[in-house]
Amino acid sequence: MFISRLSAYAACATLAFIACSSSPVTETTGFTAPPLATSTSSSGSLHVDVRTSPQPPVESIMQAELTITDAMGKPVDGLTFSVVPWMPAMGHGTSLVPTVTPMGKGTYAVGDLSLFMPGEWELRLTFSGSTSDTANPVFDVP
Quickly list DSSP for the chain: -HHHHHHHHHHHHHHHHHHHHPPPP---TT--SPPSEEEE-TTSSEEEEEEEESSS--SEEEEEEEEEEETTS-B--S-EEEEEEEETTTTEE-SSPPEEEEEETTEEEEEEEEE-SSEEEEEEEEEETT--EEE--EEEE-
Assess if residue 72 is contained within a domain.
yes
- Distance separating alpha carbons of residues 135 and 24, to the nearest angstrom: 27
Assess if residue 3 is contained within a domain.
no
Assess if residue 59 is contained within a domain.
yes
10-residue stretch averages of pLDDT, the chain, 142 residues long: 45 39 42 94 98 93 96 95 96 95 96 95 92 96 94
In the prediction, which pLDDT does 31 show? 87
In the prediction, which pLDDT does 30 show? 67
In the prediction, which pLDDT does 135 show? 98
- Distance separating alpha carbons of residues 97 and 60, to the nearest angstrom: 14
In the prediction, which pLDDT does 126 show? 98
β-sheet bridge partners, residue 84: 124
In the prediction, which pLDDT does 129 show? 76
Structural domain including 55 reads 27-141
Assess if residue 17 is contained within a domain.
no
Tens-place pLDDT, residues 33-53: 999 999 999 999 999 999 999
- Distance separating alpha carbons of residues 136 and 142, to the nearest angstrom: 19
The number of domains in the chain is 1
100 close to 108: Cβ distance less than 8 angstroms: yes
Report pTM.
Answer: 0.78
Assess if residue 11 is contained within a domain.
no
- Return the CATH number at 73: 2.60.40.10
